[in-house]
Structure 1
Amino acid sequence: MLRRLALLLALAAPLAAAAGEVQVAAAANLAGPIQKIAAAFKRDTGHEAIVSLGSTGKLFAQVRNGAPFEVLLAADAETPRKLEAEGLARPGTRYTYAFGQLVLWSATGDVVDARGEVLRRPQGKLAIADPRVAPYGAAALEVLKALNLEEGWQPLLVTGENIGQAYQFAASGNARLAFVALSQVAEAGLVARGSGWVVPASLYQPLQQDAVLLQAGVHNPVASLFLAYLRTNAARAVLRAAGYKF
């Protein structure tokens, strides 16, 4: 991996005098780590990654409607596949950059116990991302169904447009609990704020997160460079600290 990074930097060197940029569409669960990765990318290559965040479903719709994104970092594997099938992404560029983890979280300490038993006592509001467009929201519903708790929580659910909004509902106190991405509340891979239960992976389909080069970025070498940079030790260290797995 270190050799790969050295090669990347060598390839970037001829472009440094005329630093470029890449338009990156990133799933909302990446809000914190992607900014750190973008800063490291600029430091190491001289190029700028301009990041737009949103639910994967909304980003998919924007790409289909002509948004000038050059790289997509999705919260699932299916969306990049669909874009390939529709001729909107470059075949052969798609790869899995991380696996996400789902957390039941409260902004208040000691509300969520280490086994998530609080989920079995429906009370207060429970925030989730819109499962129609956000893979983490779909995973949250899978957990409730797997535990036979969907009926009890259904009248108490509040739905955010994306995982970022679901987090805000809980962080502001408008919801007692929320299903969020570990990356939103983690330091060194562990829940570091409020109280949380890292949901066992057996309760939901793997949150396989794929990246792909979009057609708008095919002729932009900075777009391909950013995709490659995401696989370096520097980028993966940021993702690992945010709780992602590989």
Structure 2
Amino acid sequence: MRRLIPALLTLVLVGGAHAGTVSVAVAANFTAPMREIAAGFERDTGHRAELAFGSTGRFHAQIMRGAPFQVLLAADQDTPARLEREGAAVAGTRFTYATGRLVLWSASPGVVDDRGEVLRRPGSGKVAMADPKLAPYGAAAAQAMANLGVAAALQPRLVQGDSIAQAFQFVDTGNAQLGFVALSQVMANGRIARGSAWIVPAHLHAPLRQDAVLLAAGKDDPAATALLAYLRGETARAIIRTHGYEL
């Protein structure tokens, strides 16, 4: 036993010495599940993930200006592919980690009906959405409104946030009566946590497939490659499902 204890301590110290930290840019809609995944990642691998949340468009600009992110979890497929073409991401590492759903949500019960007809009714309350130029969920909201034929009528009432997180904040604080947000932001334990909501039919907008990619700054970094592998494992996938994403 005395011989075994030093050996076990050596294994622990070696394991700790190899643990690293990975800097991750995460689409704002994926905030809640990624915090859970990061905790599990550290528990299971010893590596630590430093998370920054924001709009995919702003992350692209920051990465191209030299921001030291090692992994990007985007809210779309186009941005990781574009980073590959621009030489800022490692070719062959891109994959879809989740497919999101857009939801029309109000923090108050009874405001949003189960067919989204509230969008056609006259009103003066603000309608929040993410900036379509910066956030894929904002682009999806714009497509949905156009396909529903309500874009022109809603235009005077629209208020835009830089990210889907800011759009959610507008509704959550009452500064907007309702808004287009990510289903994951209002779901807990497989159901809408509070307020009222309508899950926007998927055919009304382009699919919200979200890709992850290894960035050039993370090339050959063990913690970065370990995180991408962890995202594809069943522990992470189970968390992703519980937050309303499809796989």
Identify the TM-score tier after normalising by the shorter chain.
over 0.9
The percent identity for this pair of structures is 58
Unpaired segments ≥5 residues, structure 2: 1-12
Asked whether the 8 Å contact 1:188–1:243 carries over to 2, the reply is no
- Distance, in Å, in 2 between the alignment partners of 1:133 and 1:92 is 25
TM-score by length of structure 1 reads 0.93
Measured on the aligned residues, the alpha-carbon RMSD in Å equals: 1.2
Q: What are the within-5 Å matches in structure 2 for residues 212-227 of structure 1?
A: 212-227=213-228
Structure 1 residue 19: deviation in Å?
1.9
1:110 corresponds to 2:110? yes
Structure 1 residue 14: deviation in Å?
6.3
Partner of 2:81: helix, strand, or coil? helix
Partner of 1:79: helix, strand, or coil? helix
Partner of 1:93: helix, strand, or coil? coil
Amino acid at match of 2:37: I
Partner of 2:112: helix, strand, or coil? coil
Aligned positions, number: 234
Amino acid at match of 1:24: V
- Distance, in Å, in 2 between the alignment partners of 1:209 and 1:190 is 22
Structure 1 residue 46: deviation in Å?
0.9
Counterpart position of 2:162: 161
Asked whether the 8 Å contact 1:70–1:223 carries over to 2, the reply is yes
Counterpart position of 1:101: 101
Counterpart position of 1:66: 66
- Structure of larger gyration radius: 2
Amino acid at match of 1:192: A
Q: 1:160 to 1:34 in 2, by over 3 A?
A: same
Residues 38-69 of structure 1: CA deviation (Å, up to 9, x unaligned): 00100111110000111000000000000000
Structure 1 residue 188: deviation in Å?
3.0
Counterpart position of 2:33: 33
Counterpart position of 1:188: 189
- Distance, in Å, in 1 between the alignment partners of 2:17 and 2:226 is 16
Partner of 2:134: helix, strand, or coil? coil
Unpaired segments ≥5 residues, structure 1: 1-12
Partner of 1:133: helix, strand, or coil? coil
Q: 1:98 to 1:122 in 2, by over 3 A?
A: farther
Residues 111-160 of structure 1: CA deviation (Å, up to 9, x unaligned): 11111111111421000001001000000000100000000000000000
